[in-house]
Amino acid sequence: MIQNVDEEPEVERQEKIKKLKKQLQLLLEESEPQIYQFQQMTHYMTKQYCNYKFHQRMKNGIENIKTLMLMDLSAVIVIFGVYDYDEITKWQQSIIICIAALLAVFIPGIGYAVVYHKYKYLKNIDSLGYLLEYTNVVLDVGEETKFLCSDGHTEIWEMEFDDDIKIKDGEEAVVIYSPSTHEMFTEQKEVMNKICGIK
């Protein structure tokens, strides 16, 4: 009977140790970041998304060009507003108007060429032989996340605001990965559904 009393605390201690180990294991599992699995898009989906992204980036670039045009016009108005109209000679007025007109002509042309050259690679992603990959996520902006690509390697990425779209913290989104450019894009799920039929 004395032996049973000695064995009882030992059994209780072993049970407590097992319970603590289980709790520790659960804590470790919870602290490990989730790894999201990418899946490949079809060739059609890749082409659709690349065209969409190219046009979206071009649209944003053209908005910036319009801003430059407004700044050009504002500068002319400010120059004529600051100086007394009688103090500016006809020759100076002509120069200011010519410079403003030249800028008004060249800013859109050169700006469009620069924007097109910067983003034309998006149109060619599908022709490089690598299909885009995607996965649905629920993340916070600034949260570092691991993604397992279809070829087996891991990409670590920190969610940030995309140029074209603002995903809110905790909102479901689609992350698109381009293996050929090692670039990631973020889109709203509804937008991806319209473009590529991703549910």
DSSP track, 17-56:
HHHHHHHHHHHHHHHSPPEEEPEEPPHHHHHHHHHHHHHH
Evaluate if residue 189 carries a pLDDT over 50: yes
Distance in angstroms (rounded) separating the CA atoms of residues 142 and 86: 56
pLDDT the model gives residue 80: 62
Q: Which of 175, 173, 177 is nearest to 132 (CA)?
A: 177
**Comparison of pLDDT for 62 and 96, the residue scoring more:** 62
Task: Decide: pTM greater than 0.75.
Answer: no
Query: Region 139-149: what's the mean pLDDT?
Result: 78
List, for residues 147-158, the tens digit of each pLDDT value.
888 888 888 887
86 band by pLDDT with thresholds 50, 70 and 90: low
Evaluate if residue 171 carries a pLDDT over 80: no
109 band by pLDDT with thresholds 50, 70 and 90: confident
Order the strands of the 35-37 sheet from edge to edge: 35-37, 144-148, 154-158
1 band by pLDDT with thresholds 50, 70 and 90: very low
- Helical ranges in the chain per DSSP H: 2-31, 43-82, 90-119, 121-124, 189-196
Q: Is the dihedral of CA 116, 117, 121, 127 positive or negative?
A: positive
8 band by pLDDT with thresholds 50, 70 and 90: low
pLDDT the model gives residue 99: 78
Query: Region 124-136: what's the mean pLDDT?
Result: 83
Single-letter code of the amino acid located at 186: T
